[in-house]
Amino acid sequence: MKTKFTIMMLMLIALGTTKMYAQSDYKKVRIGLGLEGALPVGATANAYNVGAGATFRVAIALNETSAFTGTTGVIAFIPKSMTGVNTKAQLNIPIKAGYKHMLGETLYGLGEAGVTMARTYIPSTGSGSLSSVSSSEFTYSVGIGAHLGGFDPSLRYEGYSGSGFIGLRVGFNF
């Protein structure tokens, strides 16, 4: 399954790369770094207050109004305080590919899917120490954003396995 997905993404990127050089009046590749803020919803909200992190995003233009995207980074979720229990932040590393479509001069819609690798720390029974559990889950996100020069703010919902978060990304493209 992973091999098929990888081959499909490489073919789509190759197709997009071929088309993008036919035009010269728009930015063909956008590379951006962003700071993330996250408000947990669903099952995530039961255990975590807020999240924060940083992401890296690349957008490869297909034409003047659409692009393939790839996003990765790290987002840490701060656990709710539990009296007498040693806790530590959950770390999420999303790896997503998607599609961005311009809805106007500056406004865009974005949809992405991929996998999130998570490391969760849980208290060990009786000893008071922490154990870590790693997992990976299918991830999807949908959102809106704006290109304001190099500034790229966006708002999205990102979900996985019955939980997720509302994310605010403040990015800068160069």
Instruction: Give per-10-residue mean pLDDT for the chain (174 aa).
Output: 53 45 60 96 88 97 95 94 71 96 95 94 71 90 94 96 92 92
Question: Which sequence spans correspond to the domains of the chain?
Answer: 2-173
pLDDT at 66: 96
Task: Please name which of 68, 70, 71 lies closest in space to residue 99, comparing C-alpha atoms.
Answer: 68
What CA–CA distance (Å, rounded) separates 18 from 12? 10
Vertex 74, ends 4 and 63: CA angle to 5°? 55
Q: What's the number of CA atoms in the CB half-sphere (13 Å) around residue 3?
A: 0
* Separation in Å, CA 21 to CA 25, 31, 36, 65: 10, 17, 32, 14
2-173: CATH topology: Porin (2.40.160)
